[in-house]
Amino acid sequence: MRAYHLPAKGAEPLLTDLPRPTPGPGEIRVRIAACGLNFADLLMIKGAYQDTPEPPFTLGMEVAGTVDALGPGTDGPAPGTRIAVFGGQGGLADYGCFPAARAVPLPDAMSFADAAAFQVAYGTSHVALDHKARLQPGETLLVLGAAGGVGLTAVEIGKQMGARVIACARGADKLAVAQEAGADHLIDAATQDIRDVCRALGGVDVVYDPVGGDQFTAALRACNPEARILTIGFASGDVPQIPANHLLVKNITVMGLYWGGYLKFRPEVVTQSMATLFDWYAAGRLRPHVSHLLPLEQAAEALDLLRLRKSTGKVVVTLT
């Protein structure tokens, strides 16, 4: 089978031919139709992600496809079932073996491309805004990196939860995508001052930050008393140093959110969140935005779209 494989530490990934895997106990084998890419894939190549497997391994964290075989003692989902699954690796291949407990059957109307773009981005934003920040109707939510894979879903979910959403991104094209997702106010990070705009709009109650760096600092200064700041990632490459005295004076809470971590210590949080999100999708309340759909042979180009910030929403690689 074809696989986009990282052969060793410090090496570049390459498209190669590998034996078709055999599912072990508790696993399913999936005929993969689509794989959603994430910024974490880039970090894995460099060995800088918190859950990077030991090479060699196949890249691709989240997939959609059809169950092809069951491992020993595995009850289901049955072969032929259309599913999505977060495996953490192994997605950029024709076949992959994943824990059966993580497989989510797809709504009939959901395409494989939408499903591959769904779990990490929507799951991260929903767990962050609902479970962690307890976002309330009428509160003001500032989303940084609002046209990116997770940021755009935070705009959508924030609106579904009744918040007023301020979307921050670079350039008119990316802001237009955020506005289409439901943003009430827009900030061009390239030309406008985040703090000044937010303060003029009455301040911020919740900050969703996958960017870090100077944008975190500006957002912190725009926070209302008792605001909650969600640290999702550091796409800027700059991990901010947080002035604890500012948190004290304004009673601000900063909380980290690593969605994949919940699968290890509280999987029910993810399970319940996914059930809600798939119900919202089936009801037409969520619309995954896939800006680029590329074949496996162009996996390197697909990752470059993320690396060079040329995508909006999700980039999905197809395998059929």
CATH number at residue 189: 3.40.50.720
Count of domains in the chain?
2
User: pLDDT band at residue 10, thresholds of 50, 70 and 90?
Assistant: confident
Q: How far apart are CA 219 and CA 236, in angstroms?
A: 14
**Span between the terminal Cα atoms of the chain, in Å:** 12
> Are 67 and 150 within one domain?
no
Rg of the chain's alpha carbons, rounded to an integer? Answer: 20
What letter would DSSP give residue 231? E
Residue 50 pLDDT > 90:
no
Residue at a domain's end among 242, 259, 276: 259
Residues 6+ apart with CB under 8 A from 17: 1, 2, 3
Residue 204 pLDDT > 90:
yes
Residue 76 pLDDT > 90:
no
Q: How far apart are CA 128 and CA 154, in angstroms?
A: 9
> Are 222 and 308 within one domain?
no
pLDDT of residue 115: 96
CATH classification at residue 25: 3.90.180.10
pLDDT of residue 56: 96
Average pLDDT of the residues in 232-251 = 94
Does residue 176 sit within a domain?
yes
Residue 98 pLDDT > 90:
yes
Residue 42 pLDDT > 90:
yes
Does residue 272 sit within a domain?
no
Residue 278 near residue 131 (C-beta atoms within 8 A): no
Does residue 275 sit within a domain?
no
User: pLDDT band at residue 188, thresholds of 50, 70 and 90?
Assistant: very high
Domain span at residue 44? 2-118+288-318
What letter would DSSP give residue 156? H
> Are 254 and 310 within one domain?
no
Does residue 217 sit within a domain?
yes
**Omega prior to 56 cis, within 30 of 0:** yes
Residue 275 near residue 250 (C-beta atoms within 8 A): no
pLDDT per position as a tens digit, 129-183? 999 999 999 999 999 999 999 999 999 999 999 999 999 999 999 999 999 999 9
User: pLDDT band at residue 320, thresholds of 50, 70 and 90?
Assistant: confident
Q: How far apart are CA 219 and CA 204, in angstroms?
A: 8
> Are 200 and 160 within one domain?
yes
pLDDT per position as a tens digit, 216-231? 999 999 999 999 999 9
Residue at a domain's end among 238, 259, 280: 259
Average pLDDT of the residues in 294-302 = 97
Residue at a domain's end among 259, 275, 297: 259
Does residue 278 sit within a domain?
no
> Are 36 and 86 within one domain?
yes
Does residue 264 sit within a domain?
no
> Are 40 and 92 within one domain?
yes
Rounded to 5 degrees, what are φ and ψ at 314?
-115, 150
**Maximal C-alpha separation, the chain:** 61
